[in-house]
Structure 1
Amino acid sequence: MEQETGMSKPVAVIACATMAFLYVAILYAPTLILRLPAPSSVKEYLIRRFICATISSFMSLVFCAFLLPLRRREATYLFRVYGIRLDHLWQAVVFPLSLTCLMYAGSLVFKSLLLVDSWKEHMHLGEGNSLNCIKDILQNFLAGLSSTASNVLAWRTYVVAPLTEELVFRACMIPLLLCGGFEIYVVILLCPILFSLAHLNHWMEIYGRQNYSLLKTFMVVGLQLGYTLIFGSYASFLFIRTGHLVAPLVAHIFCNFMGLPKLFVRRTGMVSLAFIAGTVAFICLLCPVTQPHLYNDGTNDCECWHGYCSSNLNSKC
């Protein structure tokens, strides 16, 4: 099988590990390699990282294009391999986003309760009628949206990090591993490991800059790695099932926005009930909502979206 695909499993793994290392290492290139002076502000620091992450992603896309044993090298075909498509776009946005929301049912209920409490407090203080209350809420929402759009940290969290990470760790790595002959379930587990290891640089940042103790640093980073491992598996599953890069991308942005799911709140059990109900619904709908035929015109009777599964490697790669 490995000879038929033109790529061995070790080559695929080494290529993915190289891209993961490059994605992290290049972030430190301005200071360590180019010997640029230390950034004078957080904004300058993040802009440097934006540029480095963009360069790394582009290099990975080019590297992957040359390494993949594809019979066709047209740009449109390569874009489809990377999951960069415009067809079935609304399905790739709405279905995965709705599915991801189920895991945050507890958090969404909690936020709704806070909104209701704010409404009641506003009305109790006699600060106006319900129409004025709605107007104030909308104004606060628009003000927050405007503030977020001009915040460089928000751009990192909601745009640059999700986009570059999905390009490297999903669009590039998954086709390589599948063409290397790995089974789909192995790819879903292997990609998140590389994805999690690429976040180990947070250990140095937390320990060195926030003056945490070694134990607290390990606990914080361990929690982050566990979360990225779980999310990485989910994002890889979405990409393989849908063949659309937008699917894991919108899930990534939403998860970054919501943070960790809210499991319980002391004052009410509604949050816990919502979380449990959402989790059950998520498990039940995970496979039906991500069926490949919902996101593709044809799957050639293949288990995955592009014919990269083990039964079709020779015909597609």
Structure 2
Amino acid sequence: MAAIVLDVAAWQAVLLCFLFAVIYVGSLYVWGNLSGHDRDHPDVIRRRFISVGVVCLCAPVLLWMFSDYGDGPDAHYIWEWMGLRFPWFGLTLIFAAVFPLILTMILFLGPLYLHYMDGVFRLYLEPRYWSNSIRNYVWVRNHIVAPFSEELIFRATMLPFLVPAFGVGWSIFLCPLFFGVAHFHHMIERVIRGQAEVADALKQTVFQICYTTVFGAYSAFLFTRTGHLMAPVIAHAFCNHMGFPAFNEVLGYPQPTRTKLIALFVLGLVLWVFLLFPLTTPWLYHNDVYYEI
């Protein structure tokens, strides 16, 4: 089988990425109204699992259809461009699962300490917590299906088009724009279901677009640096579990606890910045797809 050299024009790359985003979001609504149930209803989630699964199967086919074939020194197989690599007997896959997770946990050092103070960590030691979670459709969606499907579509099938056209640096900032804007459909859902007024729904959606775009840039960074889809999927699942940091909760604690929490938030950010590049060094993951090593 011939290796693949992905080479598309800039405008083609943007249009294809836009197409992937539209198909992904559109797949969530192919089932119609479903008796007015909201997005957390089990019937809605089950059917969206099916439609998103179909999209995830079709996306690699579209990537292959618009790929150019060649046997040059920079050629790689399509699954390598998508971050599905198993060199060195899977050792780098383990690195891709562990190191980005540790890096992301460091960033959330403050929120993790809040979880410790609130006694949340004790839940993780309870087998019943995990057995109940795996039977909960919302939990499965947030921790398994959404992280994998969104990273597959918005990173593994978009970046192979964007990087050859724009380079790694620009692609890291372009790719999350499609991911952020794709969340605009939440505003429509909130308004249609009467969950919020248009102005309030717009504010919530703009805020959501902003932080999902920032996360999308971080996720694209992890993907291109490690060359593994596993890295952003694990980070995505962890961030979905933690949610947006509860800064307001910190301010509600008395002194000296408040100062300690603020210090941990700052320390986590500083350590994350310091370790960001060392823990994602491409040679550590044998990543010669997006970087020369």
Relative to the length of structure 2, the TM-score reads 0.86
Identify which of 74, 94, 98 aligns with 1:94.
98
Q: Deviations over 1:142-176 (max 9, x none)?
A: 22211111001111111111111111111000011
Distance 1:6 1:174, change over 3 A: closer
Q: Deviations over 1:246-283 (max 9, x none)?
A: 00000000000000123334212222110100000001
Q: Distance in 2 between matches of 1:17 and 1:253?
A: 24
Q: Which runs of 5+ in 2 are unaligned?
A: none
Distance 1:138 1:111, change over 3 A: closer
Q: How do 1:213-252 and structure 2 match up within 5 A?
A: 213-252=197-236
Q: Distance in 1 between matches of 2:190 and 2:264?
A: 33
- Stretch moving more, 203-212 or 92-101: 203-212
Distance 1:70 1:252, change over 3 A: farther
Q: SS at 1:198's partner residue?
A: helix
Which position in structure 2 is the counterpart of 1:46?
45
Letter in 1 for 2:134: A
Q: How do 1:252-267 and structure 2 match up within 5 A?
A: 252-263=236-247, 264-267=250-253
Q: How do 1:116-135 and structure 2 match up within 5 A?
A: none
Letter in 2 for 1:9: A
Letter in 2 for 1:158: H
Distance 1:284 1:250, change over 3 A: same
Conservation of the 8 A alpha-carbon contact between 1:103 and 1:261 = no
Conservation of the 8 A alpha-carbon contact between 2:84 and 2:229 = yes
Q: Deviations over 1:155-209 (max 9, x none)?
A: 1111111111111111000011112x20222101111000011111111112222
Q: Distance in 2 between matches of 1:9 and 1:22?
A: 20
Q: Aligned pair 1:287/2:277, yes or no?
A: yes
Give runs of ≥4 in structure 1 deviating > 3 Å: 37-41, 137-140
**Deviation of the 1:78 alpha carbon:** 2.0
**Deviation of the 1:286 alpha carbon:** 0.6
How many residues matched? 273
Q: How do 1:51-66 and structure 2 match up within 5 A?
A: 51-66=50-65
Q: Aligned pair 1:185/2:169, yes or no?
A: yes
Which position in structure 2 is the counterpart of 1:71?
70
Relative to the length of structure 1, the TM-score reads 0.80
Which position in structure 1 is the counterpart of 2:145?
160
Distance 1:307 1:85, change over 3 A: closer
Which position in structure 2 is the counterpart of 1:126?
none
Q: Distance in 2 between matches of 1:139 and 1:254?
A: 14
Which position in structure 2 is the counterpart of 1:172?
157
Q: Distance in 1 between matches of 2:115 and 2:251?
A: 11
Distance 1:155 1:210, change over 3 A: farther
Highest Rg: 1 or 2?
1
Q: Aligned pair 1:83/2:69, yes or no?
A: no
State the Cα RMSD in Å. Answer: 2.5
Conservation of the 8 A alpha-carbon contact between 1:65 and 1:78 = yes
Which position in structure 2 is the counterpart of 1:149?
134
Conservation of the 8 A alpha-carbon contact between 2:7 and 2:161 = no
Between the aligned residues of both structures, percent identity stands at 33
Q: Deviations over 1:214-233 (max 9, x none)?
A: 22111211111111001000
Q: SS at 2:240's partner residue?
A: helix
